[in-house]
Structure 1
């Protein structure tokens, strides 16, 4: 069994209104040293053992989990010992 940790972020140069809203709120709460916030997604997917696990994860991200036009993704695969 494997745990796949998937991180999805907006590509550099893509506007992030949610990140701007969080930055503004932090500045309002006296965290004035916060200059930029980028908001992304984090997912954990449990998968059975497979020789093609990396290819499958990339296909899942390309086809459903991430929008390849505006988002980048990275992932880590960890073996889970029961």
Structure 2
């Protein structure tokens, strides 16, 4: 089973990489860009046929390793 995990900084957490991207876009002529938030996308192949059990395992992976839940939110999508 394939899964996609999207990890983003929580609202209110400073995103210096996003700000650097916004600044660079403005400098090359894309002045209408007023905000950028950068995140991560992780694709995993997971053995299992029970979507509920796989989702539970993915949630544990995110909470223990893949995301810093103090400053990041994550979304799990099973493809």
Cα RMSD for the two superposed structures = 0.8
Moved over 6 A (4+): none
Unaligned runs of 5+ in 1: none
1:75, distance to aligned residue in structure 2 (A):
1.2
SS of corresponding position for 1:35: coil
State the secondary structure of the residue aligned to 2:31.
coil
Give 1:50 deviation, angstroms.
4.5
Structure with greater helix share of residues: 2
For normalisation by structure 1, the TM-score amounts to 0.91
Following the alignment from structure 1 to structure 2, what is the Cα–Cα distance between the partners of residues 53 and 77?
9
TM-score in terms of structure 2 length: 0.94
